[in-house]
Structure 1
Amino acid sequence: MENAPLSAVGHLVEAVAEMRSATDDFDKITQLEELQTLLNATVGAIARVSVDFEVSQREDQRRRQVPSRERGRGIADQIALARRISPAQASRDLGFARAMQRDLAGTGELLSSGLITERAAQAVHRETDHLEPSLRREVDRELASALPDLGVRAAANAARRAALAVDPEGAAKRARKAAGDRAVWFKAEPDGMCKIVAFLPAPEGTAAFGALKKDAATEQATGAIDGRTRPQVMADMFVERLTGRAVREGTPVEVQLVMGADQLFGDTPQSPSTSPTPETSDPDGPAWLDGYGPIPAALARAIVAGHPGLFGPSPAEADRAQAWLRRVFTDPVTGQVTAVDPRRRRFDGTLRRFIRIRDQVCRTPFCDAPIDDTDHVHSYAEGGPTEVDNGAGVCRRFNLVKEMPGWTVRVVHGDPAGDGGVDPPPGHGHTIKITTPTGKTYRSTAPPVPGAVIAAPHTSGSVVELILAERLDLRWSA
């Protein structure tokens, strides 16, 4: 495949990659116009090819005698691997592609011609998704002439007005359905922060937010905010009312720390062997908080200490902390997770915990979903062993997809050709090979611990265990 001639698209990609900015600013703007048109048209082409691929794959599944209720499974997953996006995003994009081909053909043609952006086409898709196909096509015909001159918000408003006009009862039905879809989501954000998003009916949401604003204003008026801003007071009230605990009391957690001893204690432990050999992890580098992701070492120490100021505790305060801590040991040469301390008040599956911490998120390439299942790479039903090397953390979706005809998943680390049969070298990253029904192959290697600094091979991982055992021994429960 490496020596295969470039396709027409390949030549286009090569030309765009080598393109340089024009000398004259007028020509630079012209380049931007043309590139945006190309980008729009590319999205339209992706939609067309995706739909055609879905049709042919469904026919292939029919020939393979896949039960009708399961046909279609795994198609978006193959598209996701090819486009280097998550399966969830590929599913959404495939739904959009179907609409552009079948119900919103006019909008799809404008997109494929480069006359409207993907965001504008998505807005029309989103605002008309609840309509019957015939009504959706009617809205599409009405909007076609106006869309090229509209921005994203204007396109959404125009589509919403047209949808209301062709189906006046639709708004009430959608409102009733939306109330049944109320939910709460969690999303990790940079700098050790997160978002908790609530999807609520407007009256309840307005009342909840209004209550926070009103009570925060009362505290501000009485001088009880202690230097905090009103948004900070509202955020603190939000947490207190959900958990029943004051923010300043700290939150009880079990921190599955993936961090070196020097990160936790703020010093550099010395090897107990001959000459002192310092650990090589970065004391200020990122740690890993299970369920969230990378966090600053200072924040990890603060969580352990239950310190109300988050970044306030010194290493000595963290050392005296009474929060539950579970040790996670890493290989100092490769940065890979090598062991998880089983000691805590409850023993609830150290093997599962190990794989979850090692893999961090679903092992499907480009899938950012949280781990739902600790899966046997070589199926348990076919004799696959229940051990670390044969385990992989995956989302529920991929656990079902990989059982479809034509899919294979195998452990291949230590085997350069990917053909199996070679034992992995010690400390090598856990690698699996995924083959799709079309014969395309993809590899997934467990990531190194965030912030790990690769050490010289002679550094012993036992240093971390010895230092932690010395400092924390009195606080472990068997």
Structure 2
Amino acid sequence: MANEEQTGGLDQLVQGVAELLSAADDFDKITQLELLQQLQNATAGAIARVSADFEISQRDEQRRQQVPSRERGRGIADQIALARRISPAQASRDLGFARAMRRDLAGTGRLLSTGQINERAAQAVHRETDHLEPTLRRQVDGELVGALPRLGVRAAANAARRAALAADPDGATKRATKAAADRAVWFKPQPDGMCKIVAFLPAPEGIAAFGALKKDTAAAMTTGAIDGRTRPQAMADLFVERLTGRPREAGLPVEVQLVMGTDQLFGDTPDTAGSPSPAGQSDPDGPAWLDGYGPIPAAMARAIIAGHPALFGPTPVEADHAQAWVRRVLTDPVTGQVTAVDPRRRRFDGTVRRFIRIRDQLCRTPFCEAPIDDADHVHRFADGGPTDIDNGAGVCRRFNLVKEMPGWSVRVLHGPPEEGVDGADGTDPPPGHRHTIEITTPTGKTYRSTAPPAPCAATSPTGDDPTSVVEAFLTQRLDLRWAA
């Protein structure tokens, strides 16, 4: 029977947590939740460490017992599953995660063990780098470790995928090509006479298909054509109508938003054709950003631009001749953040809304990472807040409603932060041009959110204006009009 020394006092810790009472003050309740979350994160790290150690000792024991090498390791995950009261399949997956935290993702493992990131974020890094060979995986881990404590789960996954794509662009293209070849649709019976039709599609095609359903459903709602149905019901009905060929009005145009550098699009720049990209320019084979999905290989991005059916076929030269709309997104040459525009409108729509979506990428509530539903006035319009980029923030519908509750406040920070007030990650906003909002909750807790750099933005330590290069190059290489 295990004693306290052997278990490290964990039984007392469990008992203490079980008997924990909520604090009397709401500020202290929130502090309890912060500490309990750190404890949960650290516990996940400890489970991974102990699981990995258990596997090593069990394999050693099986070797001593002369278990055939092809069978060594069998039953280890099953024991872990019983101890943790989870399925063996889940235990096997968790054991693979534990191995990775020990061998190749040591930095991520340390952050998890010290409670600085949660298990889902660590799992995301594991999942997005699992295909890399060990040396490259350790390299990506080293690149990510400084940023992970500031990222939510989806942002951590995107950062890991972006770093993995940059570390092995050729492998990423091969894997994406294979995945596209595996596209399929299948049928799953469900209870109560229902079913699921599941499509496994390349990201741009899936985004376009789902976007068309959303847009046409929204149009039907404005005209009252949905006849009392909910939005999901109307979308499901439209999905069936489109597949079965039932007559219906032509769908509204769907825009797939893709962000990539000009040297990624064309493979070179006016000043550096045929040579490696210098500092301040994006890697021609590095990841691009597909709105609604995240980082994708540059080869796929060029195929989207060229409208190539194979999705990976066109070379930069073929993309050179593509007929596509290009919309300028101006970024700060030092920080890479999207810079402001100044239309004065009541509603954030058109160009202003588009810039806010590109700048913020996901909901600006720290760690929320939900898709942007609303371009919201930080300083309320009813209280005199202007309708401009600086006073706008992309948020999810939930936060747009929550911040109107008593005790909540949001403001845009300009200049150095106030003394003694840190952001959600304990750091100040970055130097240079920045868009940082500060959220205060009813308990008095404050959290900060700084807009991320524009996806695939090229930054320059010299601060030279990149727009002249972009405009001159696109004018020279593409016979396109600038979309308004």
Superposition TM-score, scaled by structure 2 size: 0.49
Larger CA Rg, structure 1 vs 2: 1
* TM-score normalized by the length of structure 1: 0.49
